[in-house]
Amino acid sequence: MHGERLFMSFWEKLLNAIGNTAGNVLSAVVEAIRTVFEGDPETRRKVAFSVAIIALSAKMAKADGIVSEKEVDAFREIFEFPPEQAKNVARLYNLARQDVAGYEAYAERLSSLCVTCAANCPVLEEVLDGLFHIAKADGLVHEKELAFLRHVGEIFHMNEEHFERIAARHVSMGRDPYKVLGVSPSDDFTTIRRRYHGLVSEHHPDRLISRGVPAEFHAIANERMAALNAAYEAIEKERRAA
């Protein structure tokens, strides 16, 4: 109950601080997060993370040109906000869609929060996983969505190999289990198993809290773990049959 009250209060505080801002919404949001949650870095980090996902989801929907009901449902799977907060979340989503600032500005702002990571930041990987989750909700990651996600990955300083590994977990057509784990078919099974266990440890849902990721992202973490497990099992089955 206390968590719900906190969740309700920070949306209300944030949107009250933004007011009826027109034009560059990003600047108003960033300033509101900085001032409203000053002295509470943990909440500020969670709010910034949540706002970034909402804004980038809105921008991705705009890039694709279509917002399907399934995409909205996928969004709600990530953010299980109370029904009475739906209007507040929708308002922020629509403000982000209408903002004169491009999605690059939102991605760059979020990337700047991860000051401890030079590249392939695990927190930003969570963001990309969340965006892929929404993009594929209608059964297909469209070409414009993939281009959008690839550019966001570049802004997040994800190298190409790392981005392809993230994408491989979500794009089911021709999914390559070796690419999902970031290994090569020429690697011996001991190397592959070591890599798999390392990824499981790195991406375990229990590690999300220490990274400051909202609890709502546990669904994304569980989905990622399922993809890693499926890839490992496919390779193990293949090697046994050989």
pLDDT in tens, 151-164: 999 999 999 989 98
Q: Looking at the predicted structure, is the pLDDT value of residue 173 above 70?
A: no
* Residue % of the chain over a pLDDT of 70: 69
Q: How many residues does the chain have?
A: 242
Task: Quote the pLDDT of residue 1.
Answer: 42
Q: Is the distance from CB of 134 to CB of 57 less than 8 angstroms?
A: yes
**What mean pLDDT, rounded, does the chain reach?**
77
Q: Looking at the predicted structure, is the pLDDT value of residue 210 above 60?
A: yes
pLDDT band of 81, cuts 50, 70, 90? low
pLDDT tens per residue, range 135-145: 887 777 888 88
Task: Quote the pLDDT of residue 55.
Answer: 80
pLDDT band of 168, cuts 50, 70, 90? confident
Q: Is the distance from CB of 179 to CB of 164 less than 8 angstroms?
A: yes
Can you tell me the distance from the alpha carbon of 32 to that of 44, in angstroms, rounded to the nearest whole number? 10
pTM: 0.73
Written as one string, the DSSP assignment of 44-105 is HHHHHHHHHHHHHHHHHHHHHS---HHHHHHHHHH----GGGHHHHHHHHHHHHH-SS-HHH
pLDDT band of 148, cuts 50, 70, 90? very high
pLDDT band of 217, cuts 50, 70, 90? low
Q: Looking at the predicted structure, is the pLDDT value of residue 96 above 70?
A: yes
Task: Quote the pLDDT of residue 2.
Answer: 43
**What angle, 0 to 180 degrees and rounded to 10, lies between the N-to-C axes of helices 25-36 and 2-18?**
130
The better pLDDT of the pair 24, 124 is held by: 124
Region 62-80 average pLDDT: 70
Of 9-13, 92-96, 186-190, highest mean pLDDT: 186-190
pLDDT tens per residue, range 179-203: 889 899 999 999 999 999 998 888 7
Q: Is the distance from CB of 137 to CB of 219 less than 8 angstroms?
A: no
Q: Which single residue is written with the structure tokens 């994304």? A: 220
Q: Is the distance from CB of 106 to CB of 63 less than 8 angstroms?
A: no
Can you tell me the distance from the alpha carbon of 210 to that of 36, in angstroms, rounded to the nearest whole number? 23
